[in-house]
Structure 1
């Protein structure tokens, strides 16, 4: 039975980096034995322009029937004034929710060849290999009630509701503990239990699950604001960082800056075993460079590597692709974000040559 991969190029630089992913896919299928049924669909602002919604019911259904979904990026100033429920980002939130991909794996690793590209000193980042496990379908991005209301005096008040249940916390914490067992066996759980009730429940549930099922794994708790400081002071103290949706969104981008460029880092959003995964580079649509051929495709290509590893059952090919990216960087391949001059296509060609 052939696996199905759905590609959602999206907006901005999304189509440019996805083109390089497609070149890699063609090579893996033509020369490396990968058997895959690949489909492409509109998503985000591109879908809004064509279909009137940021994602159609048909595309959601296709995503849920695939083994993996790989997206480029969504959003941009072109759609900044549309109604909030029609903004490109709402298509992404809907896709995450309907696929029920509640555990977002965001690795932050520093390739040896790029240790001097980081804004931090070499000794802080050389060999860095940490991963965020971010809860992805709950928290403040999905909580209700939410809205903007007009008060009696004519002023306005905006509100969002940070909500978590025990079950939501425990299932993503389980992913973090299981992942830690395959790595350095340490989980750092981040929250603000000192000032947030949802954060207090988070700490209580993670602590209880650890005591009952994962006492062999080292667990530490840390306030999210302290974690932000620690990520730029001594990032290598961490292994697996477990976070809620909001803090994971912010802190994983901070960790990306430690590695040299946000254009290097992929992500995987996973649900229960046997369900499709959603993969995406963690960079945005970068409208300022869209269409110029300057985007770094490494994060998108490594998102494909994660899809091969986690959803498509092709661990051997995933290893080959990772080594090819590493070799290209070792050989000096650099896009502008890394201080080089290669175009998106040139970077893809360098990776293909290494592959």
Structure 2
């Protein structure tokens, strides 16, 4: 959509990616179009594994600049079994996370319908929680190395990085979005030095928010408590690796990865990269049966962050209605394909 001279539009860069990414992203874009929000879509559909296999480049500097200068980004999924190793996916997703300093991984989890919950106790099914995961430090920062590779004496090391800057800003973000409580999860009884930093700043931050209930759990205990009663949690904040694991567990407790959304956010600039959690699912790519709800809800999260709160709420309500009526894909108990499931949601917007 070209800009008219003098017109200021909200530009959304879109990277459909690989596998089912283009299929579900198409349904998300059709849903945004139905909302008529006047968004300017900048499509980067050449950023994919096919291009990487041909050129050896995952994300060019020019592509990165288009993302950087946009208002927000919607990502389908990246990864392809034809590509050996993890360099391609890391060069797209982790470059965007690190170079744009998207230090917040924001993972909301809300159960849309009782039938989707794996919990037997119906009083424990009202899941409505956010996992706030530190996104640029920890074990995923890539610090480490290998000695004597491919010998009987091979030694590998991955270093967990924690800085006061990184810990303080992620904890502060968690408190800024909490409605009733914040739980900090770590393993400070075993991970001594990083744990001390998290514990010290956690106590300082908790003292500044007396109206909020605060608690602390070691990660192994947190896993048990989540399975026992996920409704007790409002916001959970954790480091990169623990937050990664806990957010996937919470997604399953809230109905599965098919409806799970995520946002990678710079809490200072407000820029965000939004994506469904399910990955590329190459085993079902091209079959027209992928669940589009995660992508559609990720798009709703994107427009909500841009200020379109009523439109985002309308999308969520329509998704809720489609799930209740079983007008969904087979993984959620319906019989629709990807396109028809997306259309069922858009029908609820009219």
Regarding TM over 0.5, the answer is: yes
Contact map agreement 1:48 1:88 (CA 8 A) in 2: no
Residue of structure 2 aligned with 1:293, choices 283, 288, 294: 288
Give 2:49's aligned residue: 45
Quote the residue 2:273 is aligned against.
278
Distance 1:306 1:125 in 2: 25
Summarize the Cα distance change of 1:277–1:46 in structure 2 as closer, same or farther, 3 Å threshold: farther
Q: Which residue number in structure 1 is paired with residue 170 of structure 2?
A: 172
Superposed displacement of residue 209, structure 1:
2.0
Note the 1:319-338 alignment, pairs <5 A.
319-338=313-332
| Partner deviation per Cα, 1:276-323 (whole Å, 9 max, x = no partner) | 21101111111111111111110110111111111x221121111111
1:200 is aligned, of 196, 201, 220, to 196
1:119 corresponds to: 118
Q: Equivalences for 1:308-323 in 2 at 5 Å?
A: 308-310=303-305, 312-323=306-317
Pick which of 324-333 and 219-228 moved more.
Answer: 324-333
Post-superposition CA distance 1:129-152 (Å, at most 9, x none): 0110111111111142x2332169
Displacement of 1:189 in angstroms is 0.4
Separation in structure 2 between the aligned mates of residue 268 and residue 47 of structure 1, nearest angstrom: 25
Q: Is the 8 A contact 2:16 2:22 kept in 1?
A: yes
How many residues in Structure 1 have an aligned counterpart in Structure 2?
340
Q: 1:58 aligns with which of 34, 53, 62?
A: 62
Instruction: Output aligned runs, 1:57-76, within 5 Å.
Output: 57-76=61-80
Q: Give per-residue Cα distances to partners, 1:169-189, cap 9 Å, x unaligned.
A: 110111100111xx2x20000
CA drift at 1:332: 1.9
Choose the corresponding residue for 1:22, options 25, 29, 37. 29
Shift of residue 127, structure 1, vs aligned partner: 2.0
- Distance in 1 (CA, whole Å) between partners of 2:51 and 2:201 is 40
Partner of 1:244: 239
CA–CA distance in structure 2, aligned partners of residues 91 and 124 of structure 1: 41
Shift of 1:199: 2.4
| CA distance in structure 2 between the aligned counterparts of 1:142 and 1:96, rounded to whole angstroms | 11
CA separation in 2, counterparts of 1:208 and 1:109? 30
**CA distance in 1 between partners of 2:145 and 2:338 (Å):** 40
Mapped to 1, the partners of 2:270 and 2:253 lie a distance apart of: 32
Match of 2:3 in 1: none
Q: Deviations over 1:208-235 (max 9, x none)?
A: 1222x32322111101111111111111
8 Å contact from structure 2 (residues 130, 234) kept in 1: yes
8 A contact 1:115–1:259 mirrored in 2 = no
User: Cα 1:174–1:224, aligned 2, differ >3 Å: closer, same or farther?
Assistant: same
**1: CA distance between counterparts of 2:171 and 2:240?**
13
* Structure 1 residue 273 displacement after superposition: 3.7
* Counterpart-to-counterpart distance in 2, 1:63 and 1:14: 18
When you count helix as a share of all residues, which structure comes out higher? 1
Q: Distance in 2 between matches of 1:244 and 1:72?
A: 24
Tell me the distance in 2 between the aligned counterparts of 1:137 and 1:47.
26
- SS of the aligned residue for 2:130 comes to strand
1:50 to partner: Cα distance: 4.6
User: Quick one: structure 1 residues 26 and 153, their matched pair in 2 at CA, closer, same or farther if it must change by over 3 Å?
Assistant: closer
Which deviates further from its counterpart, 168-177 or 316-325?
Answer: 316-325
When residues 103 and 321 of structure 1 are mapped into structure 2, their CA distance, relative to the original with a 3 A threshold, is same
1:139 aligns with 2:138: yes
Gaps of 5+ in 2: 1-7
TM-score, structure 2 length as denominator?
0.92
- Once residues 133 and 187 of structure 1 are traced to their aligned partners in structure 2, the CA distance between those partners, rounded to angstroms, is 10
C-alpha distance in structure 2 between counterparts of 1:300 and 1:140, whole Å: 27
Shift of 1:261: 1.7
Contact 1:203 1:221 in 2 (8 A): no
